[in-house]
């Protein structure tokens, strides 16, 4: 059946061809090259590269960073989305714009501000040194930089969702005798759980992959403050291509697993997701 | 146990939503607040439900300083214009909500809750739909679920905010008759907000006509209809009922 809005066969074919070509050339092909390069000298060489002590330390550091930054940003994201979506207050639009700031600021600058505040020459540097607290060139700095960069993901996902759902259901819950916490747990959270999960997955993918901001605060101490993306660069600059691509493959795999997880959940719970969005 | 509302004022920024509203209603009365949009009727209802607070004035109900009781302890069943059903819960879970959130020692047993939900489902004539989700119901069915949910907590007061406003004319009429019968059976003090005068007079014992934050006239529905006391009431009642939104 032909609808009046249908484009001509040529337009359709051209658009599809352009999209497939673009995705294939700029997304899929480089990804495949990463995997192929990692396996160039056989699978055992790739695994050996991952078992290297520095690589292991980088993997641990990345996982620890994500394990701290993602839950914190999930909580902050829920708070921010709640405040913006459900309350009216002065300066709300400025706050909303500020939440987006990490998307528009270069990650390098995000890293730099922490160096300027917490670094040796920074505002708090001498005080921190006197109290023997290490932030820059250590785990806390890496976590802070990662949190800065990944802050918007959960909040951005939840704000339109919560604004769209309004406060009716929460008010109904309160009139039925629910406490504030019961209302959150039984009404608000179930209504936002899919958006929250999606935001957390994106946040996690970015937290594990962040390069620029972390690069500035990490100090590149091998085996100590190198995360996986930084370690890939170090290996590559050392001409250890197989090792570099092996670590890169693992990083890419983490991202792919994240995507598959998300698609699986969407497929498995399609009915429930539709029910939450319909009204 | 009568309801005494005295000198309620409420201001939103520069807008005076309520400019000193007082009325009393005997226990078990059916009162409608009738007026155009912006007249303050919904604000007054939300104050009675504990979802909004007045700047001044007092409310006494059930021998209590009603405004000092937090919303969750008022047991004021509230029915919203757009249903406000919990969309991720089945109909049965929606109705059981008010019982399930009670502290453990006041909470009925699982079996008692189930029985109570079934009673309420049959009361609102939706026996077979306990397992459905709200999105799978029609508007009229949803509003009956909302009413069953409000009744589940054995409300001391029933507050309805244009509950039939989003329904078509035929369903409105059916539900109206049904709600009136329900009220006669249960005798819960009921406040019903509407801008539809036909609905107001068909349902209520007492009608309060509101305009610009004040009650223009309050009394038995036949009195209000036959003897409008102010030009506004006369004018408002002469207009045909507004089309359902």
> Each residue of A196-217: pLDDT tens digit?
988 998 899 889 888 888 888 8
Distance of residue B45 Cα from the nearest chain A Cα, in angstroms: 12
Contacts of A279 in chain B (CB under 8 A): 82, 87, 135
Query: What count of Cα atoms within 13 Å lies in the side-chain half-sphere of residue A121?
Result: 4
Angle at A124 between CA A118 and CA A125, to 5 degrees: 65
Contacts of B80 in chain A (CB under 8 A): 168, 171-172
The answer, for B74 touching chain A at a CB cutoff of 8 Å, is: yes
Residue B90: per-residue pLDDT: 94
Q: Does A177 contact B80 at a Cβ distance shorter than 8 Å? A: no
Residue among B71, B84, B102 minimizing CB distance to A169: B84
HEC assignment per residue over A144-170: HHHHHHHCHHHHHHHHHHHHHHCCHHH
The answer, for B107 touching chain A at a CB cutoff of 8 Å, is: no
Collapse the DSSP code of B110 into the 3-class scheme (helix H, G, I; strand E, B; otherwise coil) and give the result: helix
Contacts of A278 in chain B (CB under 8 A): 87, 135
Instruction: Please say whether the dihedral angle defined by the alpha carbons of residues A178, A184, A189 and A195, taken in this order, is positive or negative.
Output: positive
| pTM score over 0.90 | no
Cβ neighbour number for residue A219 with a 10 Å cutoff:
16
Q: Does B135 contact A186 at a Cβ distance shorter than 8 Å? A: no
- Cα A244 to Cα A35, A240, B66: the distances in Å are 11, 6, 70
The answer, for A187 touching chain B at a CB cutoff of 8 Å, is: yes
What DSSP state is assigned to residue A24? I
Residue B171: per-residue pLDDT: 84
The answer, for B49 touching chain A at a CB cutoff of 8 Å, is: yes
| Separation between Cα atoms, residue B176 and residue B181, nearest integer Å | 9
Report CA dihedral (B64, B66, B69, B73) to the nearest 10 degrees.
Answer: 90
C-alpha A99 chain-centroid distance: 15
What average pLDDT does this structure show over A3-7?
73
Report CA dihedral (A166, A168, A171, A173) to the nearest 10 degrees.
Answer: -110
Strands B56-61 and B64-65: antiparallel
The answer, for A174 touching chain B at a CB cutoff of 8 Å, is: yes
Structure tokens at A271: 């009915």
| Separation between Cα atoms, residue A195 and residue A273, nearest integer Å | 10
Q: Does B51 contact A179 at a Cβ distance shorter than 8 Å? A: no
Contacts of A276 in chain B (CB under 8 A): 87-88
pLDDT in tens, A111-153: 888 888 887 777 777 777 887 777 778 888 899 999 999 999 9
ipTM of predicted complex: 0.90
Residue among A173, A176, A275 minimizing CB distance to B135: A275
| Separation between Cα atoms, residue B41 and residue B210, nearest integer Å | 7
Q: Which residue of A has its CA nearest to B157?
A: A175
pLDDT at A44 over 70: yes
Distance of residue B102 Cα from the nearest chain A Cα, in angstroms: 7
Q: Which residue of B has its CA nearest to A179?
A: B72
Contacts of B72 in chain A (CB under 8 A): 174-179
Q: How many beta-carbon contacts under 8 Å exist across A and B?
A: 81
Residue A278: per-residue pLDDT: 52
| Separation between Cα atoms, residue B5 and residue B56, nearest integer Å | 11
Helices (H), B40-90: 41-49, 71-74
Q: Does A174 contact B72 at a Cβ distance shorter than 8 Å? A: yes
Q: Does B101 contact A171 at a Cβ distance shorter than 8 Å? A: no
Contacts of B73 in chain A (CB under 8 A): 177
Residues recorded for chain A: 279
Residue B130: per-residue pLDDT: 92
| Separation between Cα atoms, residue A186 and residue B153, nearest integer Å | 17
Contacts of A174 in chain B (CB under 8 A): 50-51, 71-72
Collapse the DSSP code of B158 into the 3-class scheme (helix H, G, I; strand E, B; otherwise coil) and give the result: strand
- Cα A80 to Cα A201, B99, B171, B216: the distances in Å are 18, 31, 41, 43
Cβ neighbour number for residue B82 with a 10 Å cutoff:
17
| Separation between Cα atoms, residue B184 and residue A114, nearest integer Å | 69
Question: Closest Cα partner for B18 from B36, B49, B42?
Answer: B42
Strands B64-65 and B76-79: unpaired
Longest dimension (CA), chain A: 76
Strands B76-79 and B157-161: parallel
pLDDT at A160 over 80: yes
| Separation between Cα atoms, residue A279 and residue A218, nearest integer Å | 48
Residues 6 or more apart whose Cβ sits within 8 Å of residue B145: B83, B85, B91, B94, B95, B124, B126, B134, B137
- Regions of chain B where pLDDT drops below 50: 241-245
- Tell me the average pLDDT of chain A: 86
Distance of residue B195 Cα from the nearest chain A Cα, in angstroms: 20
Interhelix angle A152-165/A189-209, nearest 10 degrees: 160
């Amino acid at each position: 059946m032909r609808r009046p809005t249908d484009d001509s066969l040529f337009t359709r074919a051209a658009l599809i061809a352009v999209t497939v070509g673009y995705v294939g050339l700029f997304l899929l092909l480089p990804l495949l090259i990463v995997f192929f390069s990692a396996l160039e000298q056989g699978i055992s060489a790739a695994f050996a590269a991952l078992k290297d002590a520095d690589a292991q330390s980088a993997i641990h550091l990345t996982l620890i960073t994500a394990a701290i930054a993602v839950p914190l940003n999930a909580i902050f994201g829920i708070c921010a989305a709640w405040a913006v979506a459900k309350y009216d207050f002065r300066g709300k639009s400025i706050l909303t714009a500020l939440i987006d700031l990490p998307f528009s600021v270069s990650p390098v600058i995000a890293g730099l501000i922490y160096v300027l505040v917490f670094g040796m020459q920074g505002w708090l540097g001498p005080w921190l040194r006197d109290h023997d607290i290490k932030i820059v060139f250590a785990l806390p700095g890496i976590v802070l930089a990662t949190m800065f960069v990944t802050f918007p993901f959960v909040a951005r996902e939840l704000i339109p969702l919560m604004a769209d759902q309004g406060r009716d259901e929460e008010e109904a819950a309160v009139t039925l005798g629910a406490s504030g916490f019961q209302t959150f747990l039984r009404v608000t959270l179930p209504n936002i759980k899919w958006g929250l999960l999606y935001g957390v997955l994106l946040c996690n993918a970015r937290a594990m992959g962040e390069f620029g901001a972390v690069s500035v605060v990490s100090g590149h101490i091998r085996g100590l403050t190198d995360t996986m993306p930084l370690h890939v660069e170090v290996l590559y600059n050392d001409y250890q291509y197989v090792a570099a691509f092996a670590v890169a493959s693992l990083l890419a795999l983490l991202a792919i697993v994240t995507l598959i997880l998300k698609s699986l959940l969407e497929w498995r719970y399609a009915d429930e997701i539709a029910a939450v969005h319909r009204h | 146990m009568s309801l005494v509302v005295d000198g309620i004022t409420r201001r939103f920024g520069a807008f005076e939503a309520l400019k000193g509203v007082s009325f009393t209603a005997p226990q078990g009365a059916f009162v409608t607040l009738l007026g155009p949009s912006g007249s303050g009727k919904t604000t007054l209802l939300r104050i009675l439900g504990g979802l909004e607070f007045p700047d001044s004035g007092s409310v006494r109900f059930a021998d209590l300083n009603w405004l000092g009781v937090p919303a969750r302890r008022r047991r004021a069943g509230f029915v919203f214009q757009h249903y406000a059903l919990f969309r991720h819960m089945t109909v049965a879970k929606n109705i059981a909500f008010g019982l399930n959130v009670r502290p453990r020692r006041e909470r009925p047993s699982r079996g008692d809750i189930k029985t109570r939900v079934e009673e309420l489902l049959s009361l609102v004539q939706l026996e077979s739909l306990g397992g459905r989700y709200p999105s799978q119901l029609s508007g009229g069915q949803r509003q009956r679920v909302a009413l069953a949910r409000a009744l589940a907590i054995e409300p001391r007061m029933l507050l309805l905010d244009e509950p039939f406003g989003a329904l078509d004319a035929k369903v409105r009429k059916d539900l109206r008759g049904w709600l009136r019968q329900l009220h006669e059976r249960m005798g819960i003090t009921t406040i019903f907000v509407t801008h539809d005068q036909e609905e107001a007079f068909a349902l209520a014992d007492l009608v309060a006509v509101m305009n610009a934050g004040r009650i223009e006239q309050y009394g038995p529905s036949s009195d209000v209809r036959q003897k409008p006391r102010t030009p506004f009431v006369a004018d408002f009642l002469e207009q045909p009922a507004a089309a359902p939104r």
